[in-house]
Amino acid sequence: MTDILLPEERRRRLLDLLALDGKIMATAASAVLGVSEDTIRRDLNDLARAGAVRRVHGGALPLTPATGTFATRATERPEAKAALGRVAAGLIRPGEVVLLDGGTTMLAVAEALPPDLRATIVTPNLPAALALTRHPAVEVVLLGGRVDKADQATVGTSVLAALDGLRADLCLLGVCSLDVEAGLGGMDHEEALVKRRMAGCAGRVAAAVTADKLGTAAPFPILPVGRLDALITERSADAALLAAYRQAGLTLILA
């Protein structure tokens, strides 16, 4: 007979399952803990309200580690982002029009472009645009709009309007979270809208994501993973997660 757990004990056990498996499925957790799925769902909702997990359909995921301002994030894992940036830069073909997302990993892409590359880069990313002014052959188009000072990017209706009618060859996205079921996610509603619109303007879409953001969830959905043509991530990422992305049909490019 299964011992009856108090609510706090159940929630601790659920967090243990999350740490062990990288996700919580309500059906499986109810069997392990010997309680109903409704009870598990209530526990997960309580944990989500406490900021311990991110609720998704059927269960919960770890919270994304992507928090803080652009300046703060720029100091986090710079070598990994530089490696991702070099690989992502290699996807850009001469003469292409490329939508380059906001974020510190996309700044690394801008800094990694070969000096002889001729292309047009359209971006809301203020530091990336500034870096590209020093590139000898790239044309830079900064998407105008309200400046989000914390993220160092333009957002809002002006950016969305500027993207209307644009047809790009490639969109390079930097996202806060990426999960096979939850898809790509962001921490800000307006930023998520811009990313979604950018992806809709491009013939090819790739995301460059550090390994710590894989298998996590953020509050604002951007795209399902099936919309990506390629995922660029670290070679050191969890093998089970990489296998799940491959099974979902993603082309993985490991840095």
- The answer, as to whether pTM is greater than 0.85, is no
- The closest alpha carbon to 99, from 82, 69, 122, 130, belongs to 122
Domain ranges of the chain: 7-61, 70-254
Closest by CA to 98, choosing from 127, 124, 119, is: 119
Q: How far is CA 226 from CA 36, 52, 148, 191, 251, in A?
A: 32, 28, 29, 20, 10
pLDDT tens, N- to C-terminus, the chain (255 residues): 446 788 888 888 888 888 787 778 889 888 888 888 888 888 888 888 877 777 878 888 877 776 678 888 888 899 999 999 999 999 999 999 999 999 999 999 999 999 999 999 999 999 999 999 999 999 999 999 999 999 999 999 999 999 998 999 999 999 899 999 889 999 889 999 999 999 999 999 999 999 999 988 888 899 999 999 999 999 999 999 999 999 999 999 999
Please choose, from the candidates 163, 161, 162, 159, the residue with its C-alpha nearest in 3D space to the C-alpha of residue 148: 159
Q: Count Cα neighbours of 6 within 13 Å in the Cβ-side half-sphere.
A: 2
User: In CATH terms, are 7-61 and 70-254 the same topology?
Assistant: no
Q: Give the helix/strand (H/E) hosting 253.
A: strand 251-254
> What is the layout of strands, in order, in the sheet containing 54-56?
24-25, 59-61, 54-56
Q: How many CB atoms lie within 10 A of CB 127?
A: 20
Cβ–Cβ under 8 Å, residues 127 and 107: yes
Alpha helices in the chain (DSSP H): 7-21, 26-33, 37-49, 70-74, 78-89, 104-112, 126-132, 157-163, 189-200, 239-247
pLDDT at 118: 98
Q: With respect to CATH, is domain 70-254 assigned 3.40.50.1360?
A: yes
Q: What is the distance between the alpha carbons of residues 181 and 163, in angstroms, rounded to a whole number?
A: 28
Contact of 204 with 169, CB cutoff 8 Å: yes
Looking at domain 7-61, its CATH class is mainly alpha
Can you give the pLDDT at residue 1?
A: 40
218-250 pLDDT, tens per residue?
Answer: 888 999 999 999 999 999 999 999 999 999 999
Q: How far is CA 235 from CA 172, 182, 226, 254, in A?
A: 19, 22, 21, 5
- CA atoms of 184 and 217, how far apart (whole Å): 8
**What does the pLDDT read at residue 67?**
67
